[in-house]
Amino acid sequence: MSRNLGCEAGSTGYDAPVLSQPPTASRAATGETDDSAALHRARVDSEIRDPLLPATRRVVASEELFRLLVTSVRDYAIFMLDPEGHVATWNPGAERLKGYTAEDIIGRHFSTFYPDEDIRAGKCEYELAGAIATGRFEDEGWRIRKDGSRFWANVVITAVHDRTGRLIGFAKITRDLSDRKQAEDERERFRMFIESVQDYAMFILGPTGRVESWNLGAERIHGYRASEIVGQHFSVFYPEDDIRVGTCELELEAAARDGRFEDEGWRLRSDGTQFWANVVITAIRDDSRRLVGFAKVTRDLTERRRAEDERTARIAAERAVQAKDEFLAMLGHELRNPLAPIVTALQLLKLRGEMRGVREYQVIERQVQFMLHLVDDLLDVSRVSRGKVALKKTAVDLRDSIARGVEIASPLFDHKGHHFEIQAPSYPVMVDGDEARLSQIFANLLTNAAKYTDPAGHISVIVWQDQAEVVVEVRDDGMGLTPELQPRVFDLFVQGPQSTDGGAAAPGGLGIGLALVRSLVQLHGGQVEARSDGPGQGSTFVVRLPAGQRIAPRRAGDRISAAFSSTAVTARRILVVDDNEDARMLLADILGALGHSVRDAGDATEALAVIREFSPEVAVLDIGLPGIDGYELAVELRKQVPGPVWLIAVSGYGAPADLARGQAAGFDRHLVKPVEIRRLIDTLAELTERSEPT
């Protein structure tokens, strides 16, 4: 066969062998007769029937079959190289695979198919040398097509020798494995991707749930190394409660049935700690749809769960705060409503001079003032905690604010016979603050001192200025503070015992007064601290506030005055509207006693009927009226009263939103129940003598 594998350039290399032909030309030359021709044919026939001739025919036939085989193969490049590596033959598969025709490539060196880097490295010579040395060389690598594109090839080179063992060339078979290479590369990239991912636990489970693979993310999240976990059942990641109820089996069943299962829940790390996980289990099936395992992806969502829990808690807290604020507003209104006529009645008695020096009157007055103070604190601490309090800052002589606080606490001092002393500079002590809130700070501190100091005890206030700070100390020799209570004394709803003799605790307080003090001091840019040497050793509360600029002060001195002054009052026509009969009648009596012409009504309908025959200059309206409320009545009064009218709202609601709504309805002033008569008189004077109605 070797004689038929050689070829010239341009040949396919697989021409059929040339057989000897009958010598017809020589017979004609010798002049053979027909008889001799017949004899010759008989001899030829005899030769054909010779037993050696069938073997020859078989060789010829096998060579033809081989040629047909090589030329018909299209999925393999099959060709011959000469001993130096030049292409000697070419089949259709080679043309399809490499892009060259036989005319293009035969006679060229087979390095044409190799990348430049392989040529420079001497790979072509190495392959031929390997084939010569061992008879066969096999390799895989990148090869080049005629158009310059690359493909991944499997190459087998076989050395071809003649009968004498002389090398006559190489048979070279090339397969295009680009698709397989791409798939392998993709699998390898995917494997590397899976193994390198650290934020997700990605691993394979066998059909029964045993771990078969493990990535870095799984090690980071679950805490197991691959050597520790591969082969174990994935139930090791689940809490005991889940294992007992069959959670693991149910998840695999759902994934096998539906193709995919997703869930969130608590999972376990190798150290026993729990984390909140999102888990996706996907069934893996082969081409025959047989279940071969599961892909499991786990994400650690503990931080998200914590954030969601915090958000849920925050929303719940906000709703609770809102509900609390609404309740406190309603509570304040409901408490102030019954207090309003009580305060008015007390002030009317005081105005008439009927109860001066009566002990029972003093008790009622003191306890009513205490309850008013308690209601104000209750509402203020809610507003301050939500940042709803806006300070109205002005230049304030702190001595005035302290004097007002002393005025508020004086009934308690008097009741328990406390010895009170104040030490303050003779010059103004200026701060930039809200005068009403500063007074509230010192009233709360003094009230607190009075509550926790036994009868006949000592309470003092010391004021001084230390460079850029104003310092106020409120001292008492009362019950003192325990070491446990001292750091918590300004917390909301925290109280100490209020009796040193083992008896009943002194009345008063919800544990909000000092919490409010701290909040208000901090709003003023200051600090407050509590000091005590222990139980029975008394307490000292120190307030530090930024010092303000010294300016010409307002008239200093004692701010405590009688409930009513002798200032002349200009008589006005006043309409009082309130559905609380006691509050309405008492207020009308006081205004009448002051010289005003007063008419009253229990609701809006009655009030509108009154103004048909009585044209008021001032209308004092309760907001919470039945039917038409005070806001709507204010609008109607503006429309129906023929002349100008000043409108004063009186309500148990005093939040900023209530004040804004009153202003929008046309009220000139908004007073919060119970209204002190002195304040009402001042408001009337301010409106009727210094301004025009809205």
Residue 386 scores a pLDDT above 70: no
- Of 255-269, 363-377, 392-406, 649-663, least confident by mean pLDDT is 363-377
Positive or negative torsion for Cα 83, 85, 88, 90:
positive
CATH class of the region 573-690: alpha beta
Q: How far is CA 569 from CA 353, 560, 565, 678, in A?
A: 19, 21, 10, 12
> Is the pLDDT confidence value at 58 over 70?
no
Residues of the chain with CATH 3.30.565.10: 394-546
Query: What distance in Å separates the CA atoms of residue 687 and residue 279, rounded to the nearest whole number?
Result: 72
Give domain 197-300's CATH superfamily.
PAS domain (3.30.450.20)
User: Which of 137-151, 221-235, 406-420 comes out lowest in average pLDDT?
Assistant: 406-420
Whether residue 47 has pLDDT greater than 60: no
pLDDT for 61: 59
pLDDT for the residue numbered 679: 79
| pLDDT exceeds cutoff 90 at 642 | no
C-alpha dist (Å) from residue 671 to 147, 620, 644: 95, 10, 20
Residue 669, token pair as written in the block: 């002033």
Say whether pLDDT at 471 is over 50. yes
Token reading at 146: 């005629």
pLDDT at residue 151, rounded to an integer: 94
Q: What is the pLDDT confidence band of residue 415, given thresholds at 50, 70 and 90?
A: confident
Q: How confident is the model at residue 11 (pLDDT cuts 50, 70, 90)?
A: very low
pTM value is 0.41
pLDDT at 467 over 70: yes
Average pLDDT over residues 483-506: 64
DSSP codes of every residue in 85-105: SBB----HHHHHHH---HHHH
> Which class is 394-546 in CATH?
alpha beta
CA proximity to 458, closest of 421, 423, 422, 419: 419
Residue 555 has pLDDT above 60, yes or no: no
Look at residue 10 in the predicted model and tell me its pLDDT.
Answer: 36
Domain limits, CATH 3.30.450.20, in the chain: 197-300
pLDDT bracket for residue 149 (50, 70, 90): very high
Would you say residue 384 has pLDDT above 80?
no
Amino acid at 175: R
User: To the nearest whole percent, how much of the chain has pLDDT over 90?
Assistant: 40
Looking at residue 173, its pLDDT comes to 95
pLDDT digits (tens, 9 = 90+) for 561-592: 333 344 456 788 999 999 888 778 888 888 88
Q: Per-residue pLDDT tens for 84-95?
A: 999 999 999 999
Compute the average pLDDT of residues 52-68: 57
The model's pLDDT over 170-219, given as tens digits with 9 standing for 90+, comes to 999 999 998 888 877 777 776 676 666 678 888 999 999 999 988 888 89
| Mean pLDDT, all residues of the chain | 80
pLDDT at 15: 39
| Average pLDDT for 309-321 | 85
Q: Which helix (H) or strand (E) holds 403?
A: helix 398-416
